[in-house]
Amino acid sequence: MGDGKPSRMSFPSQATARGVGRSPDISCPAASTAQDVLVGKEAEILEHIARPAIAATIWKRKPTVDFQKWVDGLGRGHLPALRVILPVEQAESAVQAACDVKHLEPGPERDMLASDIGALAYIFGTIMDARSLQIRLDVCLGAMCPKFHLDNVTARLLCTYRGPGTQYVLEAEQNRSSCHSQLATGDVAIFKGHKWPSEEACSLLHRSPSMQHGTGPRLLLVIDAVDCPVQGASTNTF
C-alpha cells in the first residue's frame, strides 16, 4: 500500500476517501439523543457519523465469493490475529506481518484482507482526524461481550470478516429480541461511544453475536482512534 490510501478493496463496492475528511463536528447544536442509524452501499456513508442524532453508520458490503470461501476455509491456527497501535499508513503491512506469523500462503485473498484493513484504517483515521490507531484483528472463539453496551471510546469501527456480525439495538428495546438488528459478514460499521464529543447521549447499544455451533471462530476487525481530539482509550472488547 505504502501511502496509507485505499488502493484495492476485497469487496465489489470500491471504498474511496472522497468526501471523508471531517473531524467529529462539535459545533452543531446538540440533539438530546443519538439513536439513528444510517445505512448505505458506499463508503461515504461512514463519515456521517459526525452528525448530531446519528449513533451509527453502516456501509453494507457483500464479500466476493472467492474471498469469503478463502477466509471461511482457514483453519483456526491460520487465522491472523493482531493487536497494535500504529500510524494509519502502517495498517496494511501490519496485517501482512500477522499473516506471515500464521504461515498464510501469499495470494490474492490474503492481499485483499490486508488492503481492505489498510483502506478501512485510512477511512476511519480521516473521519476521526487521527494519525494513529489501535487495530485489533480478533479471533473470537465465543461471545466476548454478550451484553448490550456502549463502548468507552469516542467511536469504534467494526467489521466481521468471518462469522456472524455484531448485533445492535436501541437501549430502550434491548429486552425485545424482535427489535434486535445485526450486521452482515463484511459490513463496516462505526458506532459512537461514551466519549463522543457532544452533549447528546447515545442510546444505541451493541453486543457480540452468540456463536453458532460448528462454524468455527469469528474473525473480527476493531479500530479505535488513539490520538483524535477526544481520546477513546479502549479497554473492552465487543
In the list 122, 124, 148, 238, the residue contacting Fe ion (rule: CB under 5 A) is: 238
Which lies closer to Fe ion via its Cβ, residue 88 or residue 189? 189
CB 161 within 8 A of CB 219: yes
Contact between 224 and Fe ion per CB under 5 A:
no
CB 133 within 8 A of CB 154: no
CB of 16 to Fe ion, least distance (A): 27
Strand-pair category, 167-170 with 204-207: antiparallel
Which lies closer to Fe ion via its Cβ, residue 67 or residue 168? 168
- From the list 25-33, 93-101, 109-117, 230-238, the region that binds Fe ion by CB under 5 A is 230-238
Q: What would the DSSP string read from start to end of 154-173?
A: SEEEEEEEESPPPEEEEGGG
φ and ψ at residue 210, rounded to 5 degrees: -70, 145
The DSSP symbol for 45 reads: G
| Per-residue mark of binding to Fe ion, 98-137 (x: CB under 5 A) | ----------------------------------------
- Residues 130-159 within binding reach of Fe ion (CB under 5 A): 151
Q: Which three cell numbers stand for residue 101?
A: 506469523
Q: Rule CB under 5 A: which residues touch Fe ion?
A: 151, 238
